[in-house]
């Protein structure tokens, strides 16, 4: 294979994590996998989350655990969450998000250094596989970034939140133009594929285009 797939990816999304191994495999097959970082939906498009209720939340919790079990992936919600949640409210985030900003400076910086997939493989996996409670403390991020071939302090120095925010906003606009607002969103030759469960259709389309 020799083609390009743009992937709009949120560090806050369980379903993006569920897709990660397949993205790595796709890249290993010769497809150019271009990671496009975006914020979690509650920060990026908060208006779409305001009317969601406990019933949807309960189903979401059931479905994410089931999907992880089906895929054979270790899985636990990040401890702590990358997002600071508003107390007593469902699907609502606080205005101040220092942990999230720090994480995205690393994510976007790694992506700018052309090691986005490596970052997700090491740092993103650490958040979601349940192996590292307190991932934001001590040397966890530094060590995970080193495993991805990156220097945490250099990335932070070179990537201010102001410049990173511009990339995140541009990617948010690009995904809407591509045809959807949710993640993971994979785009191949201007055709959008929303959700980790559309990966097989994406693969079919790529193979179809190469025959």
Contact 24, 16 (CB under 8 A): no
pLDDT of residue 75: 98
Q: Residue 209: is its pLDDT beyond 80?
A: no
Q: Residue 180: is its pLDDT beyond 80?
A: yes
Average pLDDT of the segment spanning 25-49: 94
Domains along the chain with CATH numbers: 4-210 (3.40.30.10)
- 3-class secondary-structure state, position 207: helix
Q: Residue 211: is its pLDDT beyond 70?
A: no
- To the question of pTM greater than 0.75 for the whole model, the response is yes
Distance, in Å, from the CA atom of 102 to the CA atom of 82, rounded to the nearest integer, reads 9
Q: Which two tokens stand for residue 137?
A: 């403390």
**Of 36, 33, 31, the residue nearest 207 (C-alpha):** 31
Q: Residue 2: is its pLDDT beyond 90?
A: no
Mean pLDDT score across all residues of the chain: 95
- Please, which residues have CB within 8 angstroms of residue 114's CB and are 6 or more apart in sequence? none
Average pLDDT of the segment spanning 20-32: 97
Q: Residue 175: is its pLDDT beyond 90?
A: yes
Distance, in Å, from the CA atom of 127 to the CA atom of 124, rounded to the nearest integer, reads 5
Return the residue matching tokens 């970082």.
Answer: 37
Distance, in Å, from the CA atom of 129 to the CA atom of 192, rounded to the nearest integer, reads 28
pLDDT of residue 49: 83
């Amino acid at each position: 294979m020799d083609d390009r797939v743009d992937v709009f990816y949120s560090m806050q999304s369980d379903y993006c994590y569920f897709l990660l191994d397949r993205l790595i495999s796709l890249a290993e097959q010769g497809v150019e996998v271009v990671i496009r970082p975006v914020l979690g939906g509650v920060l990026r498009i908060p208006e779409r989350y305001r009317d969601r209720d406990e019933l949807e939340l309960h189903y979401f919790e059931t479905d994410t655990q089931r999907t992880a079990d089906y895929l054979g992936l270790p899985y636990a919600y990040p401890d702590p969450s990358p997002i600071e949640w508003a107390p007593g409210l469902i699907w609502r985030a606080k205005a101040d998000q220092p942990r999230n900003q720090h994480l995205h400076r690393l994510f976007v910086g790694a992506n700018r250094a052309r090691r986005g997939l490596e970052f997700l493989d090491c740092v993103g996996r650490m958040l979601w596989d349940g192996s590292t409670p307190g991932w934001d403390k001590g040397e966890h991020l530094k060590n995970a970034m080193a495993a991805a071939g990156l220097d945490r302090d250099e990335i932070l120095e070179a990537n201010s939140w102001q410049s990173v925010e511009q990339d995140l906003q541009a990617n948010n606009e690009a995904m809407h133009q591509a045809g959807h607002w949710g993640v993971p969103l994979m785009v191949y030759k201007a055709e959008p594929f929303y959700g980790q469960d559309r990966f097989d259709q994406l693969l079919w389309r790529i193979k179809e285009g190469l025959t």
